[in-house]
Amino acid sequence: MRDTTELYCQAMLINDSIVVKDVVMKGIGFIRNDTLIEDAMDFSYKNFYPLTAQQEVLKAFLFPSSVAPSKRFDISEDDRNFVLQYMSQLPTETWYPPYAKDTAYFPAYGKFLMFGSDRKEIPQNIRIFNKIGNAYGYLIDNAYIVDFDNGIEFMLSAVIATNTDQIYNDGKYAYEKLGYPFMRNLGKLVYHYELTRPRPRMPDLSAFRIKYDQKPE
């Protein structure tokens, strides 16, 4: 049994020094306190993390030697391996906490690219190291996808807006109809291209073969 003793606790920090240069208004209405406000929603403070920057951060974490020392994470190798494990470990492999027992968490849960909302098993030769996001009708996936059997690796990041009625914060978004199918098909398209693309050099993927949680006895 794992020790769950609390080692450190810190109150939430808020950076109130950020000042936006441009006002960004979106949509034709939004819900606030259960009331429809028939006006555009202010997204000025919700657009600070460009997709290209997200991929650069993932690249710096996965491949520290490929970026300048100033852009590398100040993190121990053990801690880095810990993050890599839980970034790629599936819910059905996770016993601490016991997500594997919760049927709401299917194997491809949170792996938008290549799998969308599919509930089928992910092939054992494929691992996806990624960070997702979904809010206000946007779906984001920032991923590094590995196929050990075929010697394939690629980074792919994508975002799609699925708010077809332009009303924000109402929880009515086309994730299932538009978002997940787009992400799944985009991931598969790139994957199948990588399967057939000539490769003068095969990648060494040994650093990403990770030992995952085992079911308790």
Please report which confidence band the pLDDT of residue 1 belongs to, taking 50, 70 and 90 as the band edges.
low
The radius of gyration computed from the CA coordinates of the chain, to the nearest angstrom, equals 20
Residue 20 counted as domain residue: no
Q: What pLDDT was estimated at residue 21?
A: 84
Q: What is the pLDDT of residues 102-151, one digit of tens each?
A: 888 999 999 999 999 999 999 999 999 999 999 999 999 999 999 999 99
Q: What pLDDT was estimated at residue 157?
A: 98
CA distance 44 to 109: 30
Contact of 180 with 139, CB cutoff 8 Å: yes
In order, the DSSP letters of 40-100 are -EE-TTS--S-HHHHHHHHHHHH-GGGS-GGGS----HHHHHHHHHHHH--GGG--SS-GG
Residue 63 counted as domain residue: yes
Average pLDDT over the chain, rounded to whole? Answer: 93
Residue 44 counted as domain residue: no
Residues 80-92, mean pLDDT to the nearest whole number? 95
**Residue 89 domain boundaries:** 49-208
Residues 197-210, mean pLDDT to the nearest whole number? 93
Residue 119 counted as domain residue: yes
Query: What's the domain count of the chain?
Result: 1
Residue 36 counted as domain residue: no
Residue 74 counted as domain residue: yes
Residue 34 counted as domain residue: no
CA distance 52 to 14: 25
Residue 199 has pLDDT above 70, yes or no: yes
* CA dihedral (109, 114, 120, 121) positive or negative: negative
Residue 176 counted as domain residue: yes
Largest CA distance in the chain: 59
Q: What is the pLDDT of residues 48-65, one digit of tens each?
A: 789 999 999 999 999 999
Q: What is the pLDDT of residues 150-167, one digit of tens each?
A: 999 999 999 999 999 999
Please report which confidence band the pLDDT of residue 19 belongs to, taking 50, 70 and 90 as the band edges.
confident
